[in-house]
């Protein structure tokens, strides 16, 4: 299985290297391990994220592409869907997800992502929670369509494009970061100033 996954990952890496989508770069951190990738996502044009370069990490399971990778940003993000702040889910932020295991964490991730439509969210630790990264099949909570979730025909390229779209189109109706959503609605200039400050940080300025 790992051999099949390695072949698939190498094929995707070669495709991304030869014809990368605009604003996206991605590939293995080391040639010795195809299962850990680094990615750079440029801030979408026409948004306050424009000009920024946001690094992320993807970790692939040994049965890829039957199962999706895990992705997390490794830089600060200020976004209405930026991180979970609901007190009922505070255990997620305190590193207690292990108490309920991967299944429990995936259940909450799926429920939240359904509430946020397709915008997705980014946990405080940087982990990206978006439909395309959820296990294939029907959502037991009925928040997502099966077609929105992961399937073996998806790819790293589609994941990164979906995340870029999430940055460009915040969903403030069911925000993960209430402060950012309120600022986005009521004090747009301050919101954009905050985002641009993170853009500068992402560039080391």
pLDDT per residue as tens digits for the range 39-80: 999 999 999 999 999 899 999 999 999 999 999 988 888 887
Q: Does the CA dihedral 164-170-171-174 come out positive or negative?
A: positive
Q: What is the pTM of this model?
A: 0.74
Cβ atoms < 10 Å from Cβ of 182: 14
Residue keyed to tokens 């296990």: 135
Average pLDDT, the chain: 79
Two tokens, residue 118: 């397709």
Rounded CA separation 15/20 (Å):
7
Q: Is 109 a catalytic residue?
A: no
Using omega within 30 degrees of 0 as the cis cutoff, is the peptide bond preceding 65 cis?
yes
CA nearest to 24, candidates 196, 158, 199? 158
How would residue 156 be classed by pLDDT, with cut points 50, 70 and 90? very high
Expressed in angstroms, the distance from the first to the final Cα of the chain is: 44
Find the catalytic residue in 109, 129, 132, 159: 129
Output the pLDDT for position 112. Answer: 44
pLDDT for res 91: 36
Q: What is the per-residue pLDDT for 74?
A: 87
């Amino acid at each position: 299985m790992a051999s099949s996954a390695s072949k698939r990952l190498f094929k995707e890496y070669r495709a991304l290297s030869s014809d990368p989508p605009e604003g996206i770069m991605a590939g293995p951190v080391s040639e010795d391990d195809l299962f850990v990738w680094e990615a750079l996502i440029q801030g979408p044009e026409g948004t306050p994220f424009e000009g920024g370069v946001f690094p992320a990490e993807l970790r692939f399971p040994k049965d890829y592409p039957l199962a999706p990778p895990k992705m997390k940003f490794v830089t600060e993000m200020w976004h209405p869907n930026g991180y979970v702040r609901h007190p009922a889910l505070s255990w997620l932020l305190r590193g207690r997800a292990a108490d309920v295991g991967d299944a429990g964490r995936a259940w909450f991730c799926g429920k939240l992502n359904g509430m946020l439509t397709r915008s997705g969210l980014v946990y405080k630790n940087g982990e990206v929670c978006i439909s395309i990264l959820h296990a294939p099949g029907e959502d037991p909570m009925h928040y997502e369509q099966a077609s929105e979730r992961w399937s073996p025909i998806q790819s790293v390229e589609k994941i990164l494009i979906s995340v870029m779209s999430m940055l460009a189109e915040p969903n403030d109706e069911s925000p993960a970061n209430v402060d950012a959503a309120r600022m986005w609605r009521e004090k747009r200039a301050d919101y954009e100033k905050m985002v641009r400050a993170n853009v500068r940080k992402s560039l080391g300025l």
